[in-house]
Amino acid sequence: MSLHKFYPIFDDVNWLKRMLPLGIKLVQLRIKDATEDHVRAQIAEGQALCREYGCVLVINDYWQAAIDLGCEWLHLGQEDLDDADLKAIRAAGIKLGVSTHDDDELERVLAFAPEYVALGPVYPTILKKMKWHQQGLPRVTEWKARVGDVPLVGIGGMSVDRAPGVFEAGADIVAAVTDITLNDDPEDRVRQWLEVCK
């Protein structure tokens, strides 16, 4: 299946309640610093909402909960890969997306035959401190040449204005976080994103 070009990332299912009615078809639930019970409740509610709106739900990090709750998609960072049981994840039929930042990480990830590869940060990001500086658009083009048919997600410092250039550089999908969540009118911003990602 082909994934939608717009990939917002939210840290709470309440965002899904607000944004899915606008037409989002691909979303990641990235919950940080929460109890296992809270995470599982969020995932279960997110699944129900995404089924209702015909949206693909990707769970960040919590691979055991994703298996237990019958999730279809999982996103893992490089640190997550060290601890995750990839055989169990694949045995459960879960599709996998993985973050990459440098050549070694990309080589490592491609060995797992992921359903998508994310490259970031393409632009400077305020979301989290990273040892990698902005990758830039030439890196997006280089990564796309290397991953071939595997969908490439551009993430980090993304905005509606920057999205066309990222697609032009070779990304198949663009992920956004703070451009939506810190916007004065998040709903309107999502509508703009959906328009630019047609």
Supply the residues annotated as catalytic: 30, 99, 128
Report d(CA 119, CA 163) in Å as an integer: 14
Q: Which two tokens stand for residue 27?
A: 């979303």
| Close Cβ partners of 88 (under 8 Å, ≥ 6 residues apart) | 63, 67
Q: DSSP 3-state assignment of 63? A: helix
In which element (H, E) is residue 58 found?
Answer: strand 56-60
Q: What 3-state DSSP class applies to 96? A: strand
CA distance 44 to 183: 27
Which residues make Cβ contacts (< 8 Å) with residue 182, sequence separation at least 6?
none
Residue with tokens 């990707």: 58
